[in-house]
Structure 1
Amino acid sequence: MTIYQSLLGEDFKRLHPMLQQRYALPVDAPFFATGVMHKIASGAKWMRPFYRLAARTRFLFPESGNNIPFSIRNTCRVLPSGELEVLWERSFYFAKKTRYFDARMTIDPVQKIVRDYLGSPALFYSDLHFAATKEGKLMIRSGVQRFVIANRECPIPKILEGRVIVEEGFDDNRNVFTIHVSIHNPLFGRLMMYAGEFTQQSM
């Protein structure tokens, strides 16, 4: 049983069967998919220096666009401590530049949260709360967040948090996974949004 099954328990069975298969993630058996982001939108132009810094660490990026090719790879691996970690590697293929959005996830079984370190190396940390909807979709919402500076983590004031909402589903009619991600700040507005679809590929 890998981290998302452990986290959701019986609720894991409420997910669409294809999402159950996607998030089972056996150790060292990556999930790989390709698709298209129908829409990608970053934030305000005055935030470009932040996006350029974030892009260097494979986190957020300044580009926006429509119908952008996309790929995703999720790999579950065993850490030296024996803990399971899932590596997320997302690639967005803009016409002149490929951008990346990496993350590393483990679970806290006591608090029932996912611990999410964003970027390579990580710049930010966020608690994530996972839930299965009655329609069989996966909903993810962010919680407590921290800046990561070397080996130190500093709390982020709530007014500066990037509040994350992710909805992932499966469209039976078109046989594709669907995804909608929104990262919003109460002071600065939208930080990032992307929405699209993808199909699993054999490795």
Structure 2
Amino acid sequence: MTIYPVLLGKKFQKLHPKLQHRYALPFDRAFYAEGMMSEIQNGSKLLAPFYQFASKLNFLFPESGENIPFTIVNRCLINQDDEAEVSWERTFFFPKAVRKFNAKMTIDQEKKVVKDYLGDVPLFYSDLLFDVTKDGFLIITSGTQKVVLGKKEIPIPNFLRGRVTVLEGYDEMKDVYTIHVSIYNSLIGRIMMYAGEFMESTR
């Protein structure tokens, strides 16, 4: 049993069956999907240098757009600390650039949170809280966030945090997964938002 069923416990069975399939993530098989983001929006122009820097780490990026094709790959493995770890590889195919938003997740069973390290060279960390809605959707919100400098992790004050909300579901009429992600800061507003649909694929 991999990290998400362990974290959610009995709540995992309340997810839509397709989401249970998506988040079971057995060690011997990756989850591949492809789809379309109906909308991707970044935030203030003041953040442009940050977006450019983050894009080099495969974290955030400066592009916005509509109807952007994308892919998702999730794999679960045992990392060097002997923990079950899930890698997230999200790729967005803009007309003039290909951008990635990657992360690695493990769990803290005592705190009941996912530990999310963002980017290929992680400089940002976030606690993520997972829950299940009455409709069987997965909802994810952020908690403590930190800047990662080598082995040091420096807490980010509340007013500087990017508050993350993710809602992932399954549309039975269209037979597609649905996703809506919002990263918002109380001072500068939207940092990033994207929304779209995707289907499982094979490679």
TM-score, normalised with respect to structure 1? 0.99
Aligned to 1:35: 35
CA RMSD of aligned residues (A): 0.7
Q: Which residue identity does 1:141 align to in structure 2? A: T
**Deviation of the 1:199 alpha carbon:** 0.3
Aligned partners of 1:104 and 1:79: how far apart in 2?
A: 10
Aligned to 2:56: 56
**Deviation of the 1:79 alpha carbon:** 1.4
Aligned partners of 1:81 and 1:34: how far apart in 2?
A: 31
**Deviation of the 1:149 alpha carbon:** 1.3
**Deviation of the 1:81 alpha carbon:** 2.9
**Deviation of the 1:169 alpha carbon:** 0.2
Aligned to 1:65: 65
**Deviation of the 1:28 alpha carbon:** 3.6
1:9 aligns with 2:9: yes
Q: Which residue identity does 1:77 align to in structure 2? A: L
**Deviation of the 1:187 alpha carbon:** 0.5
Aligned partners of 1:144 and 1:46: how far apart in 2?
A: 24
CA-to-aligned-CA distance 1:130-187 (integer Å, 9 cap, x gap): 0011100000000000001122110101110000000000000110000000000001
Aligned partners of 2:60 and 2:88: how far apart in 1?
A: 14
Aligned partners of 2:69 and 2:141: how far apart in 1?
A: 25
Aligned partners of 1:123 and 1:81: how far apart in 2?
A: 19
Aligned partners of 1:89 and 1:42: how far apart in 2?
A: 19
Aligned to 2:160: 160
Q: Which residue identity does 1:117 align to in structure 2? A: Y
Structure 2: any 5+ residue segments left out of the alignment? none
Aligned to 1:25: 25
Aligned partners of 2:108 and 2:28: how far apart in 1?
A: 21
Alignment of 1:73-152 (within 5 A): 73-152=73-152
TM-score, normalised with respect to structure 2? 0.99
Structure 1: any 5+ residue segments left out of the alignment? none
